[in-house]
Chains A and B, each alone.
Chain A
Amino acid sequence: MTATARFRAPGWYRAALSLVIAFAFAVALVTGVRALYGWEVLDWGAIGTVAMIAMPLAFLVGIGCFDYWFGWAIGKPTVPDDHSSHGATSWKDYFKVNTDHKVIGIQYICTTFIFFILGGLMAMLIRAELAQPGTQFVDPNTYNGLFSVHASLMIFLFIIPVFAGIANYVVPLMIGAPDMAFPRLNALSFWLLPTAGVMMVASFFADGGAFATGWTAYAPLSTETPFGQQFFTLGVQFAGASSIATALNFLVTIITMRAPGMTFWRMPLMVWAQFTTSLLVVIATPFIAGSQFFVLLDRSLGTDFFTAGNGGDVLMYQHVFWFYSHPAVYIMMLPGFGIVSEVISTHARKPVFGYRMMAFSLVAIVILGFTVWAHHMFVSGMHSWLRIPMMITTMLIAVPTGVKIFSWLGTLWRGAIHLTTPMLFALGFITMFTLGGISGIMLAVIPVVIHVSDTYFVVAHIHYVLFGGSVFTIFAGIYHWFPKMTGRMYDEGLGKLHFWLSFVFFNLTFGPMHFVGVDGMPRRVADYADQFATLNAIISISSFLFGLSFLIFLYNMIASWRHGPKAAGNPWRAHSIEWQVSSPPPIFNFDEVPTVVGGPYEYGVPGAVHAVFGDKKAPVSAAHGPAPTPAGGGAPPPNDP
């Protein structure tokens, strides 16, 4: 390839060139405008802001996310898609714009785990600083930056998108679709993500340090702090855009591309979970985008959305922010509910108990989830009457959540339980999430929360629901679908070791935080009163061991992906459609379109199948004629030898 061709074809060379052009554009625009106004020409803050909008967009153009649409828009003759870019044949293909949902799923998962590791390392630094009272390793400003970036990465660059990644891989397969509804939009959604992550991490190099106002970025602190804040304000926009586009894609895919016969009441609960999560994302995410745009305008253009003296309203920020960020908690949990339903049903070999109630409870959580946001603001000085209804709705969410936990227990009951690694993580999830739910109820009761809000009790609660809850389900899902995604088997022994170490050290790390919180230790502090020293030392030591336990997972994943034993198409003998194709699946998922003939979890029902290939009718009997391949596994007929 000649040098110029290299810079003209989509890819990393063109992306690098685009970045340079975008930066030059930012400098030219800002200096030009300032010169016209007769101001001092160079203003690096303004240049930085424009560059942070222009450069990510230019990168996306350069890497090739928009090529097809641009060509179409300018009236180029459309080339019939030859699908030459579908699938991945070498590791290099994962660094290109690819429209295959399976490739995008892997891209999502690997990218988000990189940010998980970075966020985890920041947590280790935080715990090192907190091991003793006083200041040891980092100054207060860096400390505030560390916990802010830690939380932002974990929320916006790990938990939310890794679920999108797992679902990207398995949901089209589960509903019998050849791909997502909008493959090019899917690729764009993915590439927006590393852009946002790099911006957040890069904020550490900004003048004045990383953004240090927490992931909540409360105004007016966030409108007054140094330039690092801008990386959050804008980074969130790209992560949010990615989220919204993916959610739309899932909604359209799930509504319009289900295989023949797959009614809503035959969808696996993973699909239900992704459907309800996507509803939450589409409705809620624009609100955080709005809140951060207000901050951006206050910072960059001198508007007064949050300047109290000039007609601004400081509490408005919190209302708008939490109107997204409380539903975001469910955005980070519902996909995990879906994964756990798949894992428990498959590995306990039983139908999901109360399938319809499981689906209804997801919908109930979506609706109730929008009516509780102000429970984050019980001490914020908002109208005091508003606290009571928000307390009641918050506590009511325990009802549909309880339905889910009891139904999983009902699924375990009289099953044939295989204690595989994904099953262990699902069981660990039930334990931790129940505890997180209990502390959640306490945090809904206003007199209690007046004392414990903004303390380590809240830190403990959020990690019980987001790590013991969400991240445990992520591990369960990764182990469960690892054979499907890679075509190889992970090491069961290492998986179990990973579970037990995580489980033990997770509790030793976050359990004691309940005690220091109630006893009076505020969160987000680099230094604390001596009375909390002992427990904090224990927490820190546990957290380091907890961090190390992740290395076992990492080794298991990498080594098994490269050298693990080949996996069968359906190692778990599961019924849902993704297991009825080879591991990894064929490039276009299905050689023949499957037909769904029953529920997804008919374990123990003699002869029951979920889907069949090749014939529109359900198999009558295996003994007569050229029977279609029963695709759903199912229990062997009673008299089968």
Chain B
Amino acid sequence: MASGEAMRRRHPLLGVALLSALATAIGIAIVLSIDWFPSQASTAAKDIDELYYVLAVVSVPIFVLVMAVALYSVFAFRVRPGDMRDGEPIHGNTRLEIVWVTIPFIIVSILAAYGWVVLNDIEERKQDTLTVDVTGQQFAWSFEYPEQGKLQSNQLVLPKDRPVRFRVHTKDVLHDFWVPHFRLKTDAVPGLTTDIRVTPSRLGTYPVVCAELCGIGHATMRQSVRVIPAAQFDSWVDEQRQGKSDGGVAAAGGDKTAAGRQLFTDTGCDACHALADAEATGSVGPDLNDIAAAAARYGKRQSQSPTEYVKNSITKPNTFIVPGFREGLMPETYSEQLSEAEIDTLVEYLLGVGKEKDAQ
């Protein structure tokens, strides 16, 4: 006890150094134990996550150092109110100042170099690349596979382990194509085609998120990407072609309602519209839960059958605007994106679900 007291007096900073080392160890343990990222679904994810963990670990001793000096000063040099003493008139220390310019300079230089190396790795051009054109518009993504006979799709499906090059476009304002599980994003810029390269490395379904504010429906501009085994990719492409001609009914095992529901979600209708059957809660456009009644009412006014009304609302959305909503919000491109058969499936589904609700 007495020797400890003497120790402390002789080396007042030894205890602080030990405590700081302990705090650094705990801090690093915490940083490493936190599961920061979504699961890694691309080859780049591993490199990026490692880089992040290195940055976080390097930060810990720096933060601990600042805190240790600040807290030690407060405890050791604190005076009572009314104490008129001044501190020691130390004006500086050139050697110390050179040190604390040089060391941070070296640290950030190394980190910048490391970042550059990782950047080159993740953006490396690879052989046998699948090209996918991604187009953003308020408030949905659509996809085209130029090498698969210009297949148009509202779903993004990728073969595992094959490098993909996304060419990202927009039809209106800025959007940002982001798949958190791939760790990669890029803006969709009017007048430009932006590029990103990804190699999906894990099977599964992951969210596609718009990360650049694009207007009223930005928050719900979400779709998904499905990574499937490479062997199944070609059959998926065929299935899509088939779906274009039969409205996806065969793929859904002949169940028209299921086909409609799938189409509703894949097309991104759920981003803006509410529909209980498809678990959609969007509030940008009209609520579709009572669409059967609304189609009958508004259709009558324009002397259209409910079917015609719903079809026109999808293909020519700005000819009639439901009261309380703004013109120009709904994209006018669904007649190009969806085939006749698909539109019919969708119309039948919407009216069917609406009627079911009435019957209940």
Contact = CB atoms under 8 A, between A and B. Distances in A.
A453 B185 contact: yes
Interface in B54-69: 55-56, 59, 62-63, 66-67, 69
B1 interface: no
A448 B55 contact: yes
Most chain-B Cβ atoms within 10 A of its Cβ — which of A208, A399, A519? A399
Interface stretch (A85-93, A433-441, A576-584, A611-619): A433-441
A35 interface: no
A526 B183 contact: no
Contacts of B89: 350-351, 602-605
Given A431-B67, A450-B183, A349 B85 contact: yes
A314 B192 contact: yes
A126 to B, nearest CB: 12
A312 interface: yes
Contact of B92 (A354, A380, A381, A396): A354
Contacts of A434: 62-63, 66-67
A220 B122 contact: no
Given A380-B189, A441-B55, A417 B111 contact: no
Interface stretch (B32-40, B146-154, B237-245, B345-353): B32-40
Nearest to B37: A518
Contacts of A561: none
A515 B36 contact: yes
Among B180, B183, B281, the most chain A Cβ lie within 10 Å of the Cβ of B180
Interface in A210-228: 212-214, 218, 220-221, 224-225
B132 interface: no
Interface string A348-361: 11110111110000
Interface in A109-148: 134-135, 139-141, 143-144
Contacts of A603: 86-87, 89
A134 B282 CA distance: 9
Interface string A407-451: 101101111111100000001001100110010011011111011
Interface string A506-541: 000000000100111010111111000000000000
Interface string B39-59: 000001001100110011001
Given A140-B284, A395-B111, A416 B174 contact: no
B218 A524 contact: yes
B231 interface: no
A315 interface: yes
A70 interface: no
A409 B92 CA distance: 11
B88 A446 contact: no
Nearest to A353: B92
Contacts of B323: none
Q: For chain A, give the interface size range.
A: 35 or more
Interface residues of B, number: 87
Interface in B177-215: 178, 180-181, 183-187, 189-192, 194, 207, 209-215
Nearest to B174: A218
A518 B31 CA distance: 13
B119 interface: yes
B216 A144 contact: yes
Interface string B73-105: 110011101011111111111001100110011
Contacts of B38: 519-520
A418 B283 CA distance: 55
Interface string B95-130: 011001100110011011011101100110000000
Interface string B131-150: 00000000000000000000
Central interface residue in B63, B97, B213, B214, by most chain A CB within 10 Å: B213
B321 to A, nearest CB: 14
Given A135-B281, A308-B190, A314-B190, A417 B78 contact: yes
B37 A519 contact: yes
A141 B217 CA distance: 8
Contacts of B26: none
Contacts of B111: 395, 441, 445
Contact of A391 (B34, B56, B70, B112): B112
A445 B52 CA distance: 9
Given A314-B192, A414-B90, A438-B59, A451 B183 contact: yes
A72 B248 CA distance: 80
Given A447-B47, A448-B52, A526-B219, A406 B100 contact: yes
B173 interface: yes
Given A214-B213, A384-B123, 8 more contacts: A220-B173, A312-B191, A354-B91, A380-B189, A391-B112, A396-B105, A409-B69, A524-B213
Q: Which 7 A-B pairs have the closest CB atoms?
A: A308-B191, A520-B180, A415-B87, A350-B87, A525-B219, A604-B89, A604-B86
19 contacts: A213-B213, A218-B173, A309-B191, A348-B73, A350-B87, A396-B108, A412-B77, A416-B83, A417-B73, A418-B79, A430-B66, A441-B59, A447-B47, A448-B52, A454-B176, A520-B207, A524-B218, A526-B219, A603-B89
